[in-house]
Structure 1
Amino acid sequence: MISSLNQFLGGELVRIISSALVIVVAIILNHLNVRYQTSPARAQAKRGQGRQQLVLIKNVIILSAVSFIVMIWATKIAGVAISLSAFAMALVLSTKELIMCITGYTMFAMSRPFNVGDHVALSGIQGLVVDVDLLNLTLSETNGSHQITGKTIILPNSVLLTAVITNHLGLGAFVVGTVRMAVPYAVNRQAFSDIAIATATQICEPWANDSQRHFQRLGSRALLEAPSNKVEVFWEPVDTKQHWVEIRFLVPVAQQEHVAQLIQNQIWEQYGEELAAVNKA
């Protein structure tokens, strides 16, 4: 009876149950951590510090859970590692790409940098995420206005390990749009800034309040400062003839390119001759 009990307590079933409990406890603790750190009162009082604590505690929970699971399976892992080390080395070398694809999918499942339906830019390719399986990522190619071109792109999940990923819908329904123009030094900076701000503000007025509320909600959840819904103009010297002027504004994701063109066209109507002088000089 005692020997049977010892075998049961040291068997795989108990290890599996113990591992599952560790994972469940880790998930619950992380959920409580997020709720505590993102509570309205704390988010307003300690926004920057709260974000650091949120990430720190999350990493501690993950590291502790992994450590406990390794301890639970330590004897099994040691035995298997010794007996299969040579075989594992050969297997890794022969299935490197397959392992990288599965690892890429695992990283995607854990961090969720994007979801199916998001518009992403990945390794210079932009598209709508159609499917993510164990080995491949499928994109439906889109243009600058997020319109589908009809092309389907399939990438191995291994690119998720090294590629720079831009999620155009990571901020939700609104993003920070920009217009970049070359302006000669001869143009009055204050007058041009006033015209640019007035033009962009008028065009963006229909969604100004909605976009501000949207970014405030995101800022509260992520413990980050939300961008202002006010149009901003930034000047950057280029050479002895002209500035680069960047106009920033909040805009619905699907209207980025259209709104940028409207702003440029209206500014050009007032400063067309002076801006054209850049190319003539």
Structure 2
Amino acid sequence: MKRPLGVISFLLAAAFALLAAFVHSLPADEFVISGFQATLIVAKLLSTLAIVFLAYGLYLFTTRLINTQFVDRRRQHDIKNVVQLVFIVFALVSAFAIITEQWVGLLVSLGVVGFAITFALQQPLFSFIGWFYIMVKRPYQVGDRVAIEGSKGDVVAVDFFVTTLWEINGELVSSNQPSGRIITLPNSVVLSSHVFNYSWEGFPHIWNELSVQVAFETDLDFAESLLIDVADDYLGDEMAASIANYRRQLAETPVELEVRDRPTVNIRQEESWVDLRLRYLTHPRQGQRVRNELYKRILTAFNEHPERIKFPLGRNR
């Protein structure tokens, strides 16, 4: 659909340009209405339409080229936004210049008007600056799972003024599941708020914990070893590959951190039981699915050794 639309835009731009040239060639003195030269006004209007359709056709052609050159949809989205801004500015400046016939004066006027707009439209301006910051610093991009100012979701669009999220959790669901709602945030929030990115491009994984309570009579060394074996059988190779990537990321920073490439278990004593916390690495969008599968496997493995692994008898946990 976009290819015919782009061709039509170029044809309309050429047609309006020819009409503008024809009207401009007509004797100006013969077409005067209320003191205004009608041919000049019509010629400017046709020239403006030619510029608008030309810019739109070039934009469609450029976006089609972007789609063929960049496979990554995140890159496509960001580059299209920048290209769209360039062509909008080009069309506006060219149209106003044609109407006023004063390029230098127009640029000066735009500077004065821009100074006034800075005070009148502070929030939209801050959001536009926020968009520029997002494009340069990359705190998040399309496809990332983020949390910003109490809102959590997957980024589906980053426009000039707003960021759109598909909400997860919220008031309707839990366990990091989509709620079906859309959240719209002004881009200006990145300039004054914390941004938590759970799946940034350099390391799209997070650590997760699964807690299992056992009785004091449990053979803790055996339970810990069994937990690690179950998790390692399910996640080990994938987790080791991700940790290798994480270590490469750490090597580029001054941070010195020991990171194990296999699941680990932390033991914590509670009032009436022992809490075994399995720590492992997973993708943020697969966290609940992985947790459910691990829990099923762990309970199955624990129930096969009732003589060595005991569960608390109380129901007050």
Same fold (TM over 0.5): yes
Contact 1:141-1:151 within 8 A present in 2 as well: yes
CA deviations on 1:207-247 (whole Å, 9 max, x unpaired) are 24422332233233445447321211112334x22344321
Does residue 117 of the first structure (1) align with residue 115 of the second (2)?
A: no
Q: What is the aligned partner in structure 1 of residue 181 from structure 2?
A: 151
Task: Identify the structure with the greater helix proportion.
Answer: 1
Task: Give yes or no for contact 2:166–2:181 (8 Å, CA) kept in 1.
Answer: yes
Larger radius of gyration: 2
Change (3 A) 1:275 1:107: farther
The residue correspondences of 1:45-194 to structure 2 (distance < 5 A) are 92=119, 95-142=121-168, 149-170=179-200, 171-194=202-225
Residue 107 to residue 180, structure 1, CA distance change in 2 (3 Å): farther
Instruction: Give the distance between the partners of 1:184 and 1:174, measured in 2 at CA.
Output: 32
One of 185, 210, 215 as aligned partner of 2:246: 215
Q: 2:244 touches 2:261 (CA, 8 Å); kept in 1?
A: no
The change in CA–CA distance for 1:183 and 1:104 in structure 2 (over 3 A counts) is farther
AA of the residue aligned to 2:211:
R
| 1:248 equivalenced with 2:253 (yes/no) | no
* Aligned with residue 203 of structure 1, among 230, 234, 250: 234
CA offset at residue 276 of structure 1? 5.3
Residues of 1 paired with 2:193 and 2:214: CA distance? 35
Cα distance in 2 for partners of 1:229, 1:217 equals 13
Query: What RMSD, in angstroms, separates the aligned Cα atoms of the two structures?
Result: 3.4
The alignment status of 1:237 with 2:273, answered yes or no, reads no
Please state whether the residue corresponding to 1:279 is helix, strand or coil. Answer: coil
Contact 1:231 1:247 in 2 (8 A): yes
Whether the 8 Å contact between 1:203 and 1:259 is mirrored in structure 2 is no
Q: Sort the Cα spacing of 1:91 and 1:104 in 2 relative to 1 into closer, same or farther, 3 A.
A: closer
Deviation at 1:155, TM superposition (A): 1.0
**Mapped contact 2:272–2:312 kept (Cα < 8 A):** no
In 2, the alpha carbon distance for the partners of 1:110 and 1:199 equals: 43
For the Cα contact (< 8 Å) 1:219–1:226, is it kept in 2? no
Letter in 1 for 2:236: E
1:267-278 equivalent positions in 2, closer than 5 A = 267-269=298-300, 270=302, 274-275=310-311, 277-278=313-314
| Structure 1 unaligned regions, length at least 5 | 1-83
Q: What TM-score results when the alignment is normalised by the length of structure 2?
A: 0.50
Structure 2 partner of 1:259: 290
CA distance 1:183–1:95, shift in 2 (3 Å): farther
**Displacement, 1:124?**
2.9
The secondary structure found in structure 1 opposite 2:221 is helix
* 1:77-124 Cα deviation digits (max 9, x unpaired): xxxxxxx9xx97x964x5443344234334433421111121112223
Offset at 1:132? 1.5
Specify the code of the residue in structure 1 equivalent to 2:277. Answer: E
Which sections of structure 2, spanning at least 5 residues, go unmatched? 1-111
Identity, % of aligned positions: 22
Structure-2 separation of matches of 1:205 and 1:220: 22
